[in-house]
Amino acid sequence: MKVLIVSKILVVAAYRRKLEAIAALPEVDQLTAVTGPEWREPDGRQVRFEPTAVSRAYDLRVEPLWLNGSYHLFLWPRLGRIVREVNPDLVHIDEEPYNLATAHCTWLAQRFGARSLFFTWQNLLRSYPPPFSWFERAVFARSAFGIAGSHEALQVIRTKGYCGPGAVIPQFGVDPQLFTPATNPASGAPVIGFVARLVEEKGLLVLLEALRGLQGDWRLHVIGSGPLEPTARRRAETIGLAHRVTWERGVESTRMPERLRSFTVLVQPSLTRPNWKEQFGRAVMEAMACGVPVIGSDSGEISQVVGDAGLVVREGNSHALRDAIARTLADEGLRHQLAERGRQRVLQCYTHSRIAEQTLAAYRAAMV
Task: Please tell me the predicted confidence (pLDDT) of residue 43.
Answer: 64
- Region of 193 please: left (phi>0), alpha (psi -120 to 50) or beta: beta
Residues of the chain within CATH 3.40.50.2000 domain(s) are 2-173+351-367, 191-349
Task: Please tell me the predicted confidence (pLDDT) of residue 25.
Answer: 95
Rounded Cα distance between 291 and 48, Å, is 29
Please classify residue 197 by burial: count the beta carbons closer than 10 Å to its beta carbon, then call 0-12 exposed, 13-18 middle and 19+ buried. Answer: middle
Q: In terms of CATH architecture, what is 191-349?
A: 3-Layer(aba) Sandwich (3.40)
How does strand 191-195 pair with strand 311-313? unpaired
Rounded Cα distance between 124 and 153, Å, is 7
Report residues of the chain scoring pLDDT below 50. Answer: none
pLDDT tens-digit map of 55-113: 779 999 999 999 998 989 999 999 999 999 999 999 999 999 999 999 999 999 999 99
pTM of the model: 0.85
Which CATH class, in words, describes the domain spanning 2-173+351-367? alpha beta
Report which of 212, 210, 267 is spatially closest to residue 237, judged by C-alpha positions: 212
> What is the average pLDDT value for the chain, to the nearest integer?
94
Task: Please tell me the predicted confidence (pLDDT) of residue 42.
Answer: 67
pLDDT tens-digit map of 246-294: 999 978 878 899 999 999 999 999 999 988 999 888 899 999 999 999 9
Angle between the 132-142 and 100-111 helix axes, to the nearest 10 degrees?
40
